[in-house]
Each structure stands twice: as C-alpha cells, then as structure tokens.
A = this chain, B = another copy of it.
Amino acid sequence: MRCEVVAIGTELLLGQIIDTNSSWIGEKLALNGIDSLHQTKVGDNHERIVDSLRLALSRSEAVICCGGLGPTQDDITRAAIAEVMGVELEFHADIAAHIRHIFESRGRAMPENNLAQAEVPIGGRPIPDQPGTAPGLICPLGEKVIYAVPGVPYEMHQMMETAILPDLIERAGLKAVIKSRVLRTWGHSESRLAELLADRIDELDARGNPTLAFLASGIEGLKVRITAKGDDEAEVGRLIEAEEALVRELLGETIFGTDEQTMESVVLDTLRERGLTLAIAEITSGGIASVRFSALDPKGEVFRGSIVPVAGQSRADILGVSADTLGTPVAAKELAQAVRRVFDADIGLATTGQHDLGEGGAAGQTFLGIADADDVVVERVRLPGDRERVRQFSVISLLNALRLRL
C-alpha cells in the first residue's frame, strides 16, 4: 500500500510556512506499515493541483491532500478533487449547519463564503470528526482514494487518527498490529550508539521484526525506536518488551526515558516520588531550566523557583555569593548552596561558566553545581557550539547530572 502526501498552499512554496504536516503524516504512515514514497508541495493553482493529484494517483493507491479547505477563493482543493474524480460538487446542508453552529457558539454570524466549505465532490463523504469549520473528505476513485484534510495541524491530526489511518489500514488489508516505543538517550554520540547497537541491528535486519531505528533529536539527545509487528496487541507488546530489555542492557543508564518523557519530566517525577524540592540559579542558562520545569509544575510542588542573576551585584545581594568568582567552579558551588537556602529547597542547582564573562568562545568550560543538605558537587563540562547552544547544553547536562545522582 502506497500513500502520497500533497501539501497545498502557495505560502508553503514561498517559505512563509514550513510544511510540518507532511512530515507528521509521513511518520504516522510509516508506523502503520504504509509506504509514502513521494511527498509534494504545490501552490493554490487549480491546474497544478489537478496534475499533482493525477500524478500521485498514478504512482500510489492513496493520496492525502493537506490544506486548501478554507472558505476563501484560494481554497480550491475541493474543486480540484472533483475534477480528478470527474464529478461535480454537491452542497451538504448538514455540514453547513455544523459550520453555522461553530460561528454561533462563538457569538458570531457565519459569513456567506463559509458555505463553500459545505461542498463535497459527489461520491465523496465528509469525515465525521470536524473540529474546525473545514470538513475533511474521503473520496474514493475506483479502488483508489483521495483524502483531504485541513492544514491546521490539530484538525489534521484528529482526522488522521480517527478516520484516515483506520480507513487506510482497512484498505491495505493490514491485519497486523504495529506498535513502537521510543527509548530516549543522552550522553552518547550517534556513532557511538551505532557501534553499541550494530550487532543487534544486523541480527534484526536478518529477521525483519522488530526493527530498531535512530532518530536524532538535536540537543535533547538521540532516540532509539523499537517497532514491532504481530497478530495482536499482546504479541507485539511481548516483542517490544523483550527488545527494550536487550537495548537497555546495551545502552545502560544513557537511557533516561521512553516515548513522551523528557529529561525534565523524568527528573521532576523522581523528585516528586522522593518528596524532594528543587531551586536553580541560572547564570549560564539564563532561565531555560525554569521555563522547562515551570511548564510541568505550575504550582511549584517540586520546582520552588529560580533566580537568573545576570548582573554581578545582584548575585551578591540576593544570594550572598561573592561577585568576583563569576564563571568558576567556586561560583557553581556557592550558587547551588545559596539558591537552595534562599528558596528553602532540598536540592539547589546552578549553571555558570566562562561564557558568562561574555568571552568564553568555543574553548569555554561550564560548571554545574548540585547541592543537597549534606553535600555539594560541581561537574565540569566543555560544551560545543555558539553561546545559544552552550546555554541549551548546560541545561540538559545539568538535568542529566542530577538524574544520574538521583
């Protein structure tokens, strides 16, 4: 089963919007065992959309069009699909009523041009789940099919999950269950990870199920994805569990979490379980750790707060830390202890380094302080990249150091 993606919109070609939708759809298709061998962007031009759809249908059994379902003159996906199907558009009063209801629930009258969104190519059907004003469409052409979804990501995601993926899986006659689990790692380079897993990947390649894939996720480390296929959930679950155990043996404590977990969610969960609280003095990192923790812990049950003491005198005044140690291991130690005390937290963290002096450069070292009631340690790391990368790396390094100590 092959399914192409055609992303529609002149703004995509002009680079005004980055087409993240096709990537998202491509990942979902792959995870469900459906091949997507071509993905195309085309502008709001009737003839070119029609040509793109015909080309895609000549190569694949299914096409997902994304975008061009709005109420304006630029939104011509519906008409292009009708032309490819060789049919007219017909008005669906129930869709119109639904759109009118959306407007009325926001206290507004529906503009007349939104009625265009209620037109569906004859033979096609709207996707029942319609979170916005644009209905998604399922339009069969003989044994093949064109789907249309809005370009608004959350509307598209919902329609893909509830209607299009199930329809594709049924058409493909895919009886197998496919599931995957992502193991998130931090600490190894991609080549080191590849080396550690090379033998296992060779074994799996020969067998074909489950499979292992690497996904780089930049500053947040590398992901290892286990994907398994089987006749039912239980079988697939067993395959994934067994493979995860093997990979964990090979990679050890560089695995910090799975699936949707992040470094900060893992650290927060561990602290919460142990009834510990946290505070941070963010000099190098300038507030990045605070943003990440406060997003997950708004009431401050674990993350009691932070100080970003940029100017030297503020550091001295608020934290009682000597102003002349900036960027040294001594500062990391003093700051971690001071912020712990000031916020009355169990654990105090600090980032400081040679970059804070505004000089630094690529050779600069960063010092990460971790203080608790009994002890304070300073980790020394040499972080790559420009100042922004050093800031980001200092946070993930600090959180990882704390995780390993916990």
Contact = CB atoms under 8 A, between A and B. Distances in A.
Interface stretch (A24-32, A118-126, A167-175, A231-239): A24-32
A288 B286 contact: no
A317 interface: yes
Contacts of A40: 38-41
B43 A48 contact: no
Nearest to A279: B314
A13 B39 contact: yes
A186 interface: no
A222 B288 CA distance: 26
B291 A358 contact: no
Contact of A358 (B13, B216, B299, B356): B299
A20 interface: yes
Contact of A305 (B38, B48, B52, B307): B307
B307 A306 contact: yes
Contacts of A26: 12-15
A135 B297 CA distance: 47
Interface residues of A, number: 73
A262 to B, nearest CB: 14
A318 interface: yes
A215 B10 CA distance: 12
A38 B293 CA distance: 42
State the number of copies, please: 2
Q: Which of A13, A28, A289 has the most CB of B within 10 A?
A: A13
* Main DSSP-derived SS at the A contact region: mixed
A310 B304 contact: yes
21 contacts: A12-B23, A15-B26, A37-B45, A38-B41, A282-B287, A286-B290, A286-B293, A288-B291, A291-B291, A294-B391, A300-B311, A303-B310, A305-B310, A305-B311, A305-B314, A306-B308, A311-B343, A314-B344, A317-B342, A318-B342, A318-B343
B294 A310 contact: yes
A13 B344 CA distance: 50
Contact of A37 (B43, B287, B293, B306): B43
A298 interface: yes
Given A23-B18, A317-B342, A287 B291 contact: yes
A70 to B, nearest CB: 13
A90 to B, nearest CB: 30
Nearest to A18: B23
A330 interface: no
Contact of A312 (B290, B300, B303): B300
Interface string A305-334: 111111111110110000000000000000
Given A13-B30, A282-B290, 17 more contacts: A13-B36, A15-B23, A16-B27, A16-B216, A17-B23, A18-B18, A18-B20, A277-B311, A287-B288, A287-B289, A287-B291, A287-B294, A291-B291, A298-B358, A305-B307, A314-B343, A317-B342
